[in-house]
Amino acid sequence: MGFGANLVFVYIFAPVLAILILYFILTGNRFVGKAIVSMIAGAIFLSLLSLFIQWVTAPKILKKEDYYGTYHVKRNLFPGEQTDWQYNTYTFEIKSNDSIYFKVLRANKVSKIYRGKIETITPYRSARLKLYMDFPTHHILDSDPTIYRNAWGFYLVFYSPKYNNVFFEKD
């Protein structure tokens, strides 16, 4: 839980609970006993609810196998003519033999393929993608991608000197 929840627990919940327990011990009032049980049950419920929400919304932990597949330009972030053109022009595929094939399309036909190898590094829990492209390479693939994760998936952002950021999502 966050810092605010800890403050509420230490300065409000725990003192009120301690006072109610002392009052219950001294008086034996059943209503106070039920209030104590309700407070403890509510705190447990809220803690479990918080853990469940964190588990559901936690970013996906990526493994090397998660990167294998075909990628297209993500059109829903910045819709428009330029994005549609990029979607119809660029695609790439990462295969299980750790190779990457970046395809440039013209009229729905492959006009050029740039090849390379991939590697994943794990400086954190989630694997990061590292590219080793054969020369010459395409300007989109000049640098390694930035990976943005959420609970349901991820997308890759490549920096291009011509287009700035190009967003790719897995099919």
Residue 142: its pLDDT value, please? 92
Is residue 118 within 8 A of residue 99, CB to CB? The reply is yes
Gap between the Cα atoms of 100 and 95, Å rounded = 6
Residue 5: its pLDDT value, please? 79
For 64-170, CATH number? 2.40.128
Which band of pLDDT confidence, cut at 50, 70 and 90, is reported for residue 71? very high
The 10s digit of each residue's pLDDT in 56-66 is 999 999 999 99
The position carrying tokens 């740039």 is 114
* Nearest alpha-carbon partner for 118 in 75, 66, 170: 66
Gap between the Cα atoms of 66 and 116, Å rounded = 18
The domain segmentation of the chain, as residue ranges, is 3-57, 64-170
Secondary structure (DSSP) of 65-132: GGG-EEEEE--SSS-SHHHHHHHHHEEEEE-TTSEEEEEEEETTEEEEEEEEEEEEE-SSSS-EEEEE
Residue 1: its pLDDT value, please? 59
Q: Is the peptide bond before 136 cis (omega within 30 degrees of 0)?
A: yes
Residue 27: its pLDDT value, please? 93
